[in-house]
Structure 1
Amino acid sequence: MAQDGSPKAVNHRRCSTRTKFTKDQLTVLIRAFNQEPYPSYNIRQKLALEMNLEGPIIQTWFQNQRAKHGFQRRPEPEDLAASQAQDQPVKSPRRWRPHTIYTSSRLHTLNTALKNDPYPGVDSREQLAKEVGVPEPRVHVWFQNRRSKFFVQRKKEADEPSEQEQDG
């Protein structure tokens, strides 16, 4: 109970006790992590049975290991093959992707496309990406940001009284 007498809220997602792994269990987990940092459900279940643990505990251990080692994304198949050949886990650098530079000609093309269709489909975005020379995901984000900016500007204009109303 809380100090005021009300029942204390319980976080049901977190276990009440921390799992303590034996040295043997850690050896098995580390070996499995070095072979595959993103194990499938079946592999996690096999490990759980082998170590007499629950599957979600194994899943959480792998998530924590990936976070500890700086993994930020699931590796592409070719990245994974290269890392397995070197027998090392795939590590993503913790750097932000550089900002995409939009030249005036790129902006003109994108703004024209925005006027024609503010919600282009993936095919249209891929075609635009080829035209302007940036990856399709950057075009997708550009449209999201531009639509958001447009709606914010429209809301501001609606909230501000016009000059005639202020003079009147």
Structure 2
Amino acid sequence: MSVSDQVLTGERADLLATLQRHRGFLRQTVTGLDDEQAARRSTASELCLGGLIKHVAGTEHRWMRFAVGGAEAMQSEPVDWAGQFRMAEGETLAGLLAEFDRVAAETDALVTTLDLDTAHPLPSAPWFEPGASWSVRRVLLHLIAETAQHAGHADIIRESIDGAKTMG
């Protein structure tokens, strides 16, 4: 049975629906664009639309690794901190969207099975409170906020590319 065939209710349904909604906003910002447009920096920022899709997918993937296996699992794959916000040579918008969709489907499936109260200590980093732990619920709330924030960034970038307003 796929996630789309399952009937979720309550908190899980709300968390998943909210995450899916903001993913949809982000995805909508790239509708009709070609690879050159998706890679274009159209504002003073280093951000481009393809890079935002790539970053959000990578962030979601890493945080869900954390939700399942803690900080060690989250940090088990290297991260190209600067490159995650850009389209690299040979990357396509279609390829980035396929990965975005793959990660989303993986997360959606995990949300149906994980105990939302399970918590893991956060990795050591200057932006985390030392000794703090996050529950799976808190991870999902973080992913919703991260995706929503970047959907807003993407809307501004898209508007500066061709005038399209995807969220307003």
| TM interval, short-chain normalised | under 0.3
TM-score (norm 2): 0.24
- Tell which structure's C-alpha radius of gyration is larger: 1
- Which protein, 1 or 2, shows the higher relative CO under an 8 Å CA cutoff with sep ≥ 6? 2
TM-score (norm 1): 0.24
